[in-house]
Amino acid sequence: MVVLLVAWWFLIVTPMRDDAAAKEAEYQNQKTLYDQNLSKVQRIDQERSAARQASSDLLSLDKLIPADTQVPSMIIELQATANEAGLKFMKIVPDVPVAGTGGGTVIPVEINVQGQIFDVNDFLYRVENYARMDGNDVSVTGRLISVVTVDIVEPQVAGEFPDVLVKLGANAYMTGAPSPSKTAQRAASNDTAASSGTGGG
């Protein structure tokens, strides 16, 4: 009986325990590999999501401040906003882009709008909200345009009281540099105007 028990232990139980230990070690190795691969897949998904978000942010930033003037699209955008606000007349006159003091390029724009004062106020509100903060995110629906001057004058186009004509001095922006030739022409024009104004004074 003792011999049979010893033989059973060494010939059957011990090999089975060794095999079980080997299988357990293999299982742990495979589980470690699985966890590592799962972590890589999750990181890939996160990176893809971050890449999509970054691409969306870049498109929004390019819409907010494009690389070039994109004046036609800006005019269409402003005209659509004027229509939504119920304005009766709009005139948009972009000027020559100039280098901004804090970097980038500024595009001076003269905007004339006519309508009731509440409609003009609605138009300004819509333009200011082309870019706005939604919590920690920036919501971009149009071009970044800042109004720097507001002048209310008598309407030039026939309209009913209380229509007003509002002349707006605004700035649009772009990341690209202004054309050197146009910048030089603008500077020369300003110098000439300044000299003429001084002589007249």
- Please tell me the chain's helix, strand, coil percentages from 3-state DSSP, rounded to the nearest 5: 55, 25, 20
Give 137-150 pLDDT, tens digit per residue.
777 788 889 899 99
- Percent of the chain at pLDDT exceeding 90: 22
- Please check the confidence at residue 184 and state whether its pLDDT lies above 70: no
Q: 60: left (phi > 0), else alpha (psi -120 to 50), else beta?
A: alpha
Give 120-131 pLDDT, tens digit per residue.
999 999 998 887
**42-46, 58-62, 83-87, 171-175: which range is least confident on average?**
58-62
Residue 51 pLDDT: 60
Q: Which amino acid does the sequence have at 1? A: M
- The answer to whether 115 touches 155, Cβ cutoff 8 Å, is no
Pairwise pLDDT comparison (157 vs 182), residue with the higher score: 157
Pairwise pLDDT comparison (52 vs 102), residue with the higher score: 102
Query: In the block, which residue shows the tokens 């971009």?
Result: 140
- The answer to whether 95 touches 110, Cβ cutoff 8 Å, is yes
- Please check the confidence at residue 78 and state whether its pLDDT lies above 60: yes
Residue 182 pLDDT: 52
**What are phi and psi for residue 174, nearest 5 degrees?**
-145, 155
Give 23-73 pLDDT, tens digit per residue.
777 777 877 877 777 777 767 666 666 666 556 555 666 777 888 888 898
- Please check the confidence at residue 195 and state whether its pLDDT lies above 60: no
Residue 13 pLDDT: 60
Give 1-25 pLDDT, tens digit per residue.
766 666 666 666 666 766 666 777 7
Pairwise pLDDT comparison (105 vs 179), residue with the higher score: 105
The continuous run of DSSP H or E covering 167 comes out as strand 163-174
Pairwise pLDDT comparison (176 vs 169), residue with the higher score: 169
The Cα–Cα gap between 194 and 53 comes to 49
